[in-house]
């Protein structure tokens, strides 16, 4: 097709172009027909520009204009002219000028649209995903994908400056466990054998360190066959990196500086370094979660010691049995804390495993409402010690430490949301360190790695690992932003014997470990360097930066919450012949 090619994009025309003939190639974003004059708002990736067809335009152009509809793809040519007085649009960067159309070519037509491209709540997500190629034309999707590109470029240039090499690792691999199920790919040449898609490049990046490559990164696609819950995708992207001869703080420092550069390049936001650090224990104790949202205060207070001075027998019994009492102080929230809200928060606490939620408010220097009557005697001392003021509301729970922290942590988040204590547009990072290395899985009755099985125990636990795995802390770290886990990493084991001891604890005795990880254990017998790394989630990072609620908003072609694609219909059955070739038959 021969057609006039653009000489400017839709964001470029300005008064310097006045009088010059130009061509735009773009989509019809808006169309206003006033009889003898038609205004087209044309759109491309770069911006919006007005084109005008009037009685000075050639007859054939006016005729063709009658055929135009939204989202037709067109080429328009004509002089750039100043908009008449009163028609200037200061909202549009090109708002001082317009193109007076002398030539119009319809490059392609558009049938009835399933939704209007740039409308705020344009459609259901299902429809948006089915017509993703149209959804991608929206300014929101384009802005986010442009940000994503900027983030990736910023990461690449930062890591290159720091001496990292970008190296690809295979995606048809021997399965690497990261706590999820593998996607399997059948081998045609070896019927009955399978490749796995990597849950992450974990083992390969460690082998790159054994290979002496020292500093590696990769914008890596990871595949995990997980149940659809939360904001998950079967494939997602990590900024995967690994470094040799580092200690924990070297990895944290590098990651912080990378985040600082990314936020500067991507959003012009200056992050303050270093990020605060909390141990896993402190995070749970103070915020009831290992990914605390610290955009607001509201720490959990410990009232375990205080409770014996009160007459609240229910809580005293819990403490006597070894439990804890945790409280939240909602400052001056008296009026806002309605019974309805308390009932909602109590529901949240119960869902998190609590038996209930106690509350009372400070009024006339006394505790009133809820369980206030049990605290009359101790009120003066408590009000003084906790620095309480009139109108403050106390929410309290009592249970085992783990359970009360968890449930009160959920109440903390819910209260902050409903009392609107979370300021939008803020980014609050922190590190959570010193996680337990192992977790007990009730269902399988086995120890499991809390992160993955290649992480180094902290030095003081190495001799006695097997005695009480539950107590062992690892050289593990998570980067958290606004209450979301943004990255996990660790210093790794590089001693084959220690690695085997950890394998033993998590259910990979020698035989089984050799079968699955023999190549890693072998590699560790050839002078492996001490090493460690981390892997920030790229989708999450861009989601947080663009203040979206789901990573689907920052992925060009995501799967839906059922892990399917309404656009191409995947997953889908395959031909009998394909299966036969692979030697696969369904029972």
Q: Which stretches of the chain bind ligand ASP, using CB under 6 A?
A: 178, 200, 202, 452, 488-490, 533-535
Q: Cβ 535 to ligand ASP, closest distance in Å?
A: 4
Sign of the four-CA dihedral 251, 506, 208, 170: negative
**Smaller CB distance to ligand ASP: residue 251 or 325?**
251
Give residue for tokens 């439990």: 323
484-491 and 277-279 beta bridge pairing: unpaired
Q: What single DSSP character describes residue 305?
A: T
Q: Cβ 21 to ligand ASP, closest distance in Å?
A: 55
Q: Cβ 277 to ligand ASP, closest distance in Å?
A: 18
Q: Cβ 478 to ligand ASP, closest distance in Å?
A: 9
Contacts of 528 (CB under 8 A, 6+ apart): 206, 209, 210, 494
* Phi–psi pair at 383, nearest 5 degrees: -60, -40
CA within 13 Å, CB half, 36:
2
Helix (H, G, I), strand (E, B) or coil at 103: strand
| Order of strands, sheet of 476-481, starting from the edge strand that comes earlier in the sequence | 165-166, 215-223, 235-244, 531-536, 484-491, 476-481, 429-433, 277-279
Helix (H, G, I), strand (E, B) or coil at 38: strand
Q: Cβ 275 to ligand ASP, closest distance in Å?
A: 18
Residue 191 CA, distance from chain mean position: 38
Structural tokens at position 280: 């896993």
**Smaller CB distance to ligand ASP: residue 203 or 354?**
203
Q: Cβ 11 to ligand ASP, closest distance in Å?
A: 39
**Smaller CB distance to ligand ASP: residue 202 or 310?**
202
Q: Cβ 525 to ligand ASP, closest distance in Å?
A: 22
Q: What single DSSP character describes residue 208?
A: H
DSSP states along 381-427: HHHHHTT--TT-EEEEEEE-HHHHHHHHHHHHHHHHHHTT-PPTT--
**Smaller CB distance to ligand ASP: residue 50 or 202?**
202
Structural tokens at position 286: 């103070």
Helix (H, G, I), strand (E, B) or coil at 513: helix
**Smaller CB distance to ligand ASP: residue 93 or 179?**
179
**Smaller CB distance to ligand ASP: residue 178 or 182?**
178
Q: Cβ 235 to ligand ASP, closest distance in Å?
A: 13
**Smaller CB distance to ligand ASP: residue 240 or 392?**
240
**Smaller CB distance to ligand ASP: residue 138 or 199?**
199
H helices present in 53-122, as ranges = 59-65
Contacts of 283 (CB under 8 A, 6+ apart): 289, 290, 291, 292, 432
Longest dimension (CA), the chain: 93
Residue 27 CA, distance from chain mean position: 32
**Smaller CB distance to ligand ASP: residue 236 or 374?**
236
CA within 13 Å, CB half, 347:
7
Give the count of beta carbons closer than 10 Å to the beta carbon of residue 193.
10
**Smaller CB distance to ligand ASP: residue 98 or 182?**
182
How much of the chain is helix, strand and coil, in % rounded to 5? 30, 25, 45
Q: Cβ 449 to ligand ASP, closest distance in Å?
A: 11
366-368 and 358-363 beta bridge pairing: antiparallel
Can you list the positions of beta strands (E) in 205-306?
215-223, 235-244, 277-279, 301-302
* Phi–psi pair at 97, nearest 5 degrees: -125, 170
**Smaller CB distance to ligand ASP: residue 41 or 202?**
202
Q: Cβ 383 to ligand ASP, closest distance in Å?
A: 46
**Smaller CB distance to ligand ASP: residue 254 or 329?**
254
Q: Cβ 458 to ligand ASP, closest distance in Å?
A: 16
* CA–CA dist 375, 310 (Å, integer): 6
Q: Cβ 284 to ligand ASP, closest distance in Å?
A: 20
Q: Cβ 462 to ligand ASP, closest distance in Å?
A: 19
Contacts of 403 (CB under 8 A, 6+ apart): 352, 353, 354
**Smaller CB distance to ligand ASP: residue 452 or 552?**
452
């Amino acid at each position: 097709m021969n057609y006039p090619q653009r000489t400017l994009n839709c964001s470029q025309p300005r008064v310097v172009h006045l009088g010059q003939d130009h061509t735009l190639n773009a989509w019809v974003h808006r169309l206003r027909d006033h009889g003898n004059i038609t205004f087209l708002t044309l759109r491309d990736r770069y911006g919006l520009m007005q084109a005008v067809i009037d009685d000075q335009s050639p007859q054939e152009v006016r005729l063709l204009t009658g055929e135009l509809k939204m989202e037709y793809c067109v080429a328009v040519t004509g002089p750039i002219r100043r908009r008449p007085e009163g028609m200037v649009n200061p909202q549009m960067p090109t708002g001082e000028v317009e193109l007076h159309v002398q030539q119009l070519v319809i490059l392609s037509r558009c049938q009835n649209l399933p939704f209007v491209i740039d409308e705020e709540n344009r459609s259901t997500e299902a429809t948006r995903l089915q017509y993703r190629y149209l959804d991608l034309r929206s300014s929101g999707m384009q802005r986010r994908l442009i940000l994503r590109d900027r983030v990736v470029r910023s990461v690449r240039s930062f890591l290159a400056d720091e001496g990292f090499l970008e190296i690809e690792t295979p995606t048809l691999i021997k399965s690497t466990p990261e706590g999820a199920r593998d996607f399997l790919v059948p081998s045609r040449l070896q019927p009955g054998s399978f490749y796995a898609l990597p849950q992450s490049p974990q083992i390969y990046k460690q082998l790159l360190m054994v290979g002496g490559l020292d500093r590696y990164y990769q914008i890596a696609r990871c595949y995990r066959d997980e149940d659809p819950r939360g904001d998950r995708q079967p494939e997602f992207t990590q900024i995967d990196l690994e470094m040799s001869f580092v200690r924990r703080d070297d990895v944290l420092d590098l990651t912080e500086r990378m985040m600082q550069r990314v936020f500067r390049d991507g959003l012009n936001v200056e992050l303050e370094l270093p990020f605060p650090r909390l141990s896993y224990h402190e995070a749970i104790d103070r915020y009831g979660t290992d990914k605390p949202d610290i955009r607001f205060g509201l720490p959990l207070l410990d009232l375990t010691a205080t409770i014996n001075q009160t007459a609240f027998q229910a809580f005293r019994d819990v403490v006597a049995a070894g439990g804890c009492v945790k409280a939240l102080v909602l400052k001056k929230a008296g009026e806002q804390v309605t019974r309805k809200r308390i009932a909602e928060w109590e529901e949240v606490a119960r869902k998190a495993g609590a038996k209930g939620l106690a509350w009372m408010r400070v009024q006339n220097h006394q505790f009133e409402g809820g369980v206030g009557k049990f605290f009359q005697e101790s009120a003066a001392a408590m009000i003084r010690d906790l620095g309480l003021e009139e109108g403050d509301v106390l929410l309290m729970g009592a249970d085992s430490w783990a359970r009360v922290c968890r449930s009160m942590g959920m109440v903390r988040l819910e209260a902050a949301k409903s009392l609107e204590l979370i300021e939008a547009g803020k980014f609050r990072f922190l590190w959570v360190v010193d996680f337990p290395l192992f977790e007990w899985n009730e269902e399988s009755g086995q120890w499991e790695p809390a992160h993955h099985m290649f992480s180094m125990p902290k030095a003081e636990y190495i001799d006695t690992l097997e005695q009480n795995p539950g107590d062992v802390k690892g050289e593990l770290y998570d980067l958290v932003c606004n209450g979301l886990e943004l990255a996990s990493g660790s210093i790794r084991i590089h001693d084959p014997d220690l690695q085997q001891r950890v394998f033993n604890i998590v259910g990979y005795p020698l035989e089984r470990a050799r079968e699955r990880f023999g190549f890693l254990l072998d590699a560790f017998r050839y002078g492996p360097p001490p090493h460690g790394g981390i892997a920030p989630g790229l989708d999450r990072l861009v989601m947080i930066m663009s203040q979206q609620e789901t990573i689907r908003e920052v992925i060009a072609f995501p799967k839906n919450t059922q892990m399917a694609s309404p656009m191409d219909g995947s997953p889908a059955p395959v031909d009998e012949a394909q299966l036969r070739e692979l030697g696969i038959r369904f029972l």
